[in-house]
C-alpha cells in the first residue's frame, strides 16, 4: 500500500515537472541567459534583422555549468561584464513554480520523515543563490555556480609559498590567487568600512614575516592612531612605525633615502635592479587609511616617486583607503600602482575609482569578499587570519627592547618592597 502511494507521488512529481517544463517559466539556465539578453536589449540590429547571442557550448564544471557565448559583432563584452548583476538577478528570480530536479524525489526515504525531506528539498532550492563569473577571451564565458562562494576561508599556513614574494589574496572557484610582489610590485586596497581592508593588511604583513623573516623590512603607517599595526611595532623587521599624519612626510623622505642607497648598491655593480643583482632585501611601505595624507601634496609626491622607482629597488607600497574618491586615491598614485583589491563599495563611481570599472558595488555584503584586479578581475574571498593567529605567528620575531625608566622604577620598587620578606633570622 505504502509503496503504491509513494510510486504515485513520484509519478505525479515527474508528470508535474514535465508540465511545468513545457508550460511554465524558463527553468533551464541556458534559456534564461538568452531571455535575459533579449529582455535587456542586449541585441544587435544588422540589415534590419535582430541578431541574438547564441550559446556556442555548454559544459559541466565543478559546482556548476559554463556557457560559452558568441557575441554578435558590435556587442561590447565590457558592457555585459559590468552588468553582471542583471544576469545574476535574472538567474535567481524565483518563480511561483518550484524549480527542482525530479531526481531528488527518488532519493527520498519513504518513512515518517518523508514530508520533512520534501520540505527540505524545496527549502534548500529556494535558499541556494546562484553566483556567476564572467570572462571574455574572444568568446563570453558565463560560469553559473549553484552555490555561492564560501563566506569565510580560515587561514592555513599551507597558503604560504615556500619561495619568493607571493602572498595569498583570496580564493575563487578555481582555488587560491596570489599577489607576487616581485612581479606586480605595489597594491591599492579599498573598501567600505568594516569589510576587511585592515584584516587583509594584517594578514599580508604576517605572511611576509613568516615567509621571509630575514629579508623583509617594513615601514608601517597606521593613520588610525595605530589601532591596526601597533602589534607589529616591535617586530625586528619593522624599521619605521608612524601613526601621526603630520610626520608621514618625514617618514617617506627617510624611505626615499633608503631607496636611493639601494639604487647606488646595485648600480655600482653594474646591475639595473635588485633581482638582477641577486639582492634579497625587500622593503614594504604599508599605509592604512591613506586618505588622511591624500591632500598633502608633498606626501603624495614622495609616495608616487616610491611607487615609480621602487620597483627596481624592491621598495613596494601598499596603499589602503576607505573612501576611494579621486581625492583619496590621487591620479599619480593610481597610475603607478596598477594592481588593486576592492572590497564592497557603495557605488559604481567608487568602484571605477579603484578598479577602473564597475563591479565592486555589486559584491555581496560579506566581509572578506573582494575583487582583485591585476590584468583581469577575480572575485575572491580573502583568507581570515584571526587576531590570535596574527599574534601567534609574529611573536617569535618581536625584539626585546631595553626596559623603560618608569617600568624599571616600578620593577625596582616591587623588588625593594618584596625584599623585606626574603630572609628571616630566628634566634636559636
Ligand atoms: N576575510 C575575512 N573573512 C571573514 N571576516 C572578515 C574578513 N575580513 C574581515 N572580516 C571581519 O570584518 C571585520 C572588519 O574588518 P576590518 O577591520 O579589516 O575592516 P576595514 O575594512 O579595515 O574597516 P575600517 O575601514 O573601518 O577600518 C573584522 O573584525 C572581521 O570580523
Ligand atoms: Mg581598517
Question: Any idea how long the chain is?
Answer: 428
- Which atom of ligand 1 is nearest to 381's Cα? 1
Report whether pLDDT(294) > 70: yes
Taking the centre of ligand 1 as the mean of its atom positions, its distance from the CA of residue 38, in whole angstroms, is 40
pLDDT, one tens digit per residue, over 140-175 is 999 999 888 899 999 999 999 988 999 999 999 888
Pocket-testing residue among 228, 364, 367, 386, ligand 1, by greatest number of atoms within 8 A of Cβ: 367
Report whether pLDDT(198) > 90: yes
Q: Which residue has the CA at smallest separation from atom 15 of ligand 1?
A: 196
Report whether pLDDT(94) > 50: yes
Residues 148 and 128: their CA atoms lie apart, in Å, by 8
pLDDT tier for residue 85 given thresholds of 50, 70 and 90: confident
Taking the centre of ligand 1 as the mean of its atom positions, its distance from the CA of residue 199, in whole angstroms, is 5
Question: What's the pLDDT at 9?
Answer: 54
Q: Which residue has the CA at smallest separation from atom 13 of ligand 1?
A: 194
Taking the centre of ligand 1 as the mean of its atom positions, its distance from the CA of residue 230, in whole angstroms, is 17
Ligand found nearest the CA of 192: 1
pLDDT tier for residue 5 given thresholds of 50, 70 and 90: low
Read off the pLDDT of each residue in 201-212 and give the average, rounded to a whole number: 97
Alpha helix locations (H) across 58-129?
A: 77-82, 84-92, 103-106, 114-127
Ligand found nearest the CA of 189: 1
Phi, psi at 250, each rounded to 5°: -55, -45
Read off the pLDDT of each residue in 195-214 and give the average, rounded to a whole number: 96
pLDDT, one tens digit per residue, over 231-289 is 999 999 999 999 999 999 999 999 999 999 999 999 999 999 999 999 999 999 999 98
Residues 36 and 41: their CA atoms lie apart, in Å, by 8
- Which range has the worst mean pLDDT, 2-16, 45-59, 220-234? 2-16
Residues 310 and 313: their CA atoms lie apart, in Å, by 5
Taking the centre of ligand 1 as the mean of its atom positions, its distance from the CA of residue 197, in whole angstroms, is 6
Which residues have C-beta atoms less than 6 Å from ligand 1? 152, 191, 193-199, 322, 367-368, 382, 384
Question: What's the pLDDT at 301?
Answer: 92
State the DSSP string of 43-66.
Answer: -EEETTEEEPPEEEEEEEETTEEE
Radius of gyration of the chain (CA): 29
Q: Where are the domains of the chain?
A: 2-145, 153-397
Ligand found nearest the CA of 390: 1
Read off the pLDDT of each residue in 296-313 and give the average, rounded to a whole number: 93
**Which of 249, 167, 149, 163 has the alpha carbon at shortest distance from 206?**
167
Other beta carbons within 10 Å of 256: 17
pLDDT, one tens digit per residue, over 332-356 is 888 889 999 999 999 989 999 999 8
Contacts of residue 395, Cβ cutoff 8 Å, sequence gap at least 6 = none
Question: What's the pLDDT at 410?
Answer: 45
pLDDT, one tens digit per residue, over 179-193 is 999 999 999 999 999
pLDDT tier for residue 27 given thresholds of 50, 70 and 90: low
Read off the pLDDT of each residue in 125-151 and give the average, rounded to a whole number: 83
Q: Which residue has the CA at smallest separation from atom 16 of ligand 1?
A: 196
Pocket-testing residue among 167, 194, 320, ligand 1, by greatest number of atoms within 8 A of Cβ: 194
The percent of residues above 90 in pLDDT, for the chain, comes to 50
Taking the centre of ligand 1 as the mean of its atom positions, its distance from the CA of residue 285, in whole angstroms, is 21
Report whether pLDDT(428) > 50: no
Taking the centre of ligand 1 as the mean of its atom positions, its distance from the CA of residue 218, in whole angstroms, is 22
Question: What's the pLDDT at 3?
Answer: 52
Pocket-testing residue among 167, 172, 199, 381, ligand 1, by greatest number of atoms within 8 A of Cβ: 199
Question: What's the pLDDT at 11?
Answer: 55
Q: Which helix (H) or strand (E) element contains residue 378?
A: strand 377-381
**Which of 360, 286, 315 has the alpha carbon at shortest distance from 82?**
360
Partners of residue 372 on adjacent β-strands: 341, 378
Tell me if the domain spanning 153-397 has CATH number 3.40.50.300.
yes
Question: What's the pLDDT at 305?
Answer: 93
pLDDT tier for residue 18 given thresholds of 50, 70 and 90: very low
Residues 328 and 289: their CA atoms lie apart, in Å, by 9
Taking the centre of ligand 2 as the mean of its atom positions, its distance from the CA of residue 201, in whole angstroms, is 9
3-state secondary structure of 75: coil
Amino acid at each position: 500500500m505504502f509503496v503504491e502511494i509513494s510510486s504515485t507521488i513520484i509519478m505525479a512529481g515527474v508528470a508535474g515537472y514535465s508540465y511545468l517544463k513545457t508550460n511554465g517559466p524558463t527553468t533551464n539556465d541556458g534559456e534564461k541567459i538568452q531571455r535575459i539578453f533579449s529582455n535587456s536589449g542586449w541585441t544587435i540590429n544588422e540589415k534590419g534583422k535582430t541578431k541574438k547571442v547564441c550559446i556556442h557550448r555548454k559544459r559541466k564544471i565543478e559546482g556548476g555549468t559554463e556557457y560559452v557565448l558568441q557575441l554578435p559583432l558590435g556587442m561590447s563584452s565590457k558592457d555585459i561584464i559590468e552588468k553582471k548583476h542583471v544576469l545574476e538577478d535574472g538567474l535567481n528570480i524565483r518563480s511561483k513554480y518550484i524549480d527542482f530536479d525530479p531526481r531528488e524525489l527518488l532519493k527520498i526515504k519513504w518513512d515518517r520523515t518523508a514530508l520533512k525531506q520534501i520540505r527540505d528539498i524545496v527549502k534548500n532550492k529556494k535558499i541556494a543563490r546562484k553566483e556567476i563569473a564572467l570572462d571574455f577571451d574572444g568568446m563570453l564565458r558565463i560560469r553559473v555556480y549553484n552555490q555561492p562562494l564560501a563566506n569565510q576561508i580560515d587561514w592555513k599556513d599551507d597558503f604560504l609559498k615556500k619561495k619568493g614574494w607571493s602572498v595569498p589574496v583570496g580564493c575563487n572557484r578555481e582555488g587560491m590567487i596570489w599577489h607576487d610582489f616581485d612581479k606586480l610590485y605595489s597594491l591599492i586596497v579599498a573598501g567600505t568600512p568594516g569589510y576587511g581592508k585592515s584584516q587583509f593588511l594584517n594578514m599580508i604583513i604576517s605572511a611576509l614575516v613568516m615567509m621571509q623573516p630575514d629579508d623583509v623590512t617594513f615601514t608601517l603607517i597606521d593613520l588610525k592612531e595605530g589601532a591596526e599595526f601597533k602589534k607589529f611595532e616591535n617586530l625586528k623587521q619593522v624599521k619605521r612605525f608612524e601613526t601621526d599624519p603630520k610626520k608621514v612626510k618625514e617618514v617617506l623622505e627617510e624611505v626615499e633615502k633608503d631607496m636611493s642607497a639601494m639604487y647606488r648598491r646595485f648600480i655600482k655593480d653594474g646591475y639595473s635592479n635588485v633581482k638582477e643583482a641577486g639582492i634579497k632585501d625587500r622593503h614594504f611601505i604599508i599605509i592604512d587609511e591613506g586618505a588622511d595624507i591624500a591632500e598633502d601634496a608633498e606626501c603624495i609626491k614622495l609616495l608616487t616617486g616610491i611607487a615609480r622607482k621602487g620597483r627596481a629597488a624592491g621598495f613596494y607600497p601598499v596603499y589602503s583607503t576607505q573612501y576611494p574618491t579621486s581625492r583619496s586615491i590621487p591620479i599619480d598614485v593610481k597610475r603607478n600602482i596598477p594592481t588593486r583589491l576592492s572590497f564592497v563599495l557603495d557605488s559604481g563611481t567608487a568602484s571605477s575609482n579603484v578598479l577602473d570599472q564597475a563591479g565592486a558595488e555589486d559584491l555581496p555584503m560579506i566581509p572578506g569578499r573582494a575583487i582583485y584586479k591585476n590584468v583581469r578581475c577575480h572575485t575572491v574571498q580573502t583568507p581570515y587570519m584571526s587576531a590570535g593567529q596574527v599574534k601567534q605567528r609574529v611573536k617569535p620575531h618581536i625584539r626585546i627592547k631595553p626596559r623603560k625608566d618608569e617600568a624599571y622604577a616600578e620593577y625596582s620598587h616591587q623588588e625593594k618592597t618584596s625584599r623585606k620578606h626574603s630572609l628571616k633570622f630566628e634566634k636559636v
